[in-house]
Structure 1
Amino acid sequence: MTVLKGGPNTTNAQKLIAFLNRAQIAAGWTQGTGYPGPNTNQLKYLPTELIPQVNVNPQNAAKCIIDDANWLIETRPDGKTNADHIQERWLSWRTQ
């Protein structure tokens, strides 16, 4: 979630984000949407079968890939962006 700088209701938007990041609320959000928030305390409130699947599980956090948007938009020597190159490789692999 994002709070826009200078938005018309930033204070309440920040309060909403704080509320959604409470452990029990975050666990409910994760169960309902499949998207875990950053609060690792929510693990106490998640069903045991879901815990191995979420990125906030410490065993999974070390395996997460950090998106590097700057690298993705960089232009390669062939004139394509890295994102285009990856997409082409993915599609080539998928069609084999």
Structure 2
Amino acid sequence: MSYSYAAILKGGPNTGNAQKLFAFLNRAQIAAGFTQATGYLGPNTHQLQYLPPEWIPLLTIDPKNTLKVLPEDSAWLAAKRLDGKTNADHLQERWLAWRAQ
């Protein structure tokens, strides 16, 4: 699991409307539409009721999956290995080798 962030600038020219937009985007039905269109999940677990049933077991926000999810460790991914590659590079190489089999 990796994190996505969005922010509203303090003192921005349209802060109130930006807050309304975030509230709108996090409505369950709207969040489900966003997930279907982009593949990205929002934090609203109520969107599950608006998603195709076959999607639910594949999503990190499915209550059956929450204990299986591991948060991304960006510091570990960026760390250099003894061979000079990052852990992310090493994982990418392993993934590509596995897929090529």
Structure 1 residue runs of 4 or more that deviate by more than 6 Å after TM superposition: none
Residue correspondences, number: 96
Please tell me whether the aligned partners of residues 26 and 42 of structure 1 are also in contact (alpha carbons under 8 angstroms): yes
Please tell me whether the aligned partners of residues 8 and 19 of structure 2 are also in contact (alpha carbons under 8 angstroms): no
Match of 2:60 in 1: 55
Please tell me whether the aligned partners of residues 72 and 81 of structure 1 are also in contact (alpha carbons under 8 angstroms): yes
For 1:88 and 1:47, the matched residues in 2 are separated by 34
Q: Quote the offset at 1:76 in angstroms.
A: 1.4
Unaligned runs of 5+ in 1: none
Match of 1:38 in 2: 43
Match of 2:27 in 1: 22
Q: Percent identity?
A: 60
Q: Quote the offset at 1:29 in angstroms.
A: 1.8
Q: What TM-score results when the alignment is normalised by the length of structure 2?
A: 0.71
Match of 1:81 in 2: 86
Q: Quote the offset at 1:8 in angstroms.
A: 4.0
Unaligned runs of 5+ in 2: none
* Higher relative contact order, structure no. (Cα contacts within 8 Å, ≥ 6 residues apart): 2
Rate the CA distance shift 1:50–1:9 in 2: closer, same or farther, 3 A.
farther
Q: CA RMSD in A?
A: 2.5
Cα deviation digits, residues 33-84 of structure 1 (max 9, x gap): 3322111111223333332232211112222231111101111122221112
For 1:66 and 1:58, the matched residues in 2 are separated by 16
Rate the CA distance shift 1:36–1:9 in 2: closer, same or farther, 3 A.
farther
Q: What TM-score results when the alignment is normalised by the length of structure 1?
A: 0.74
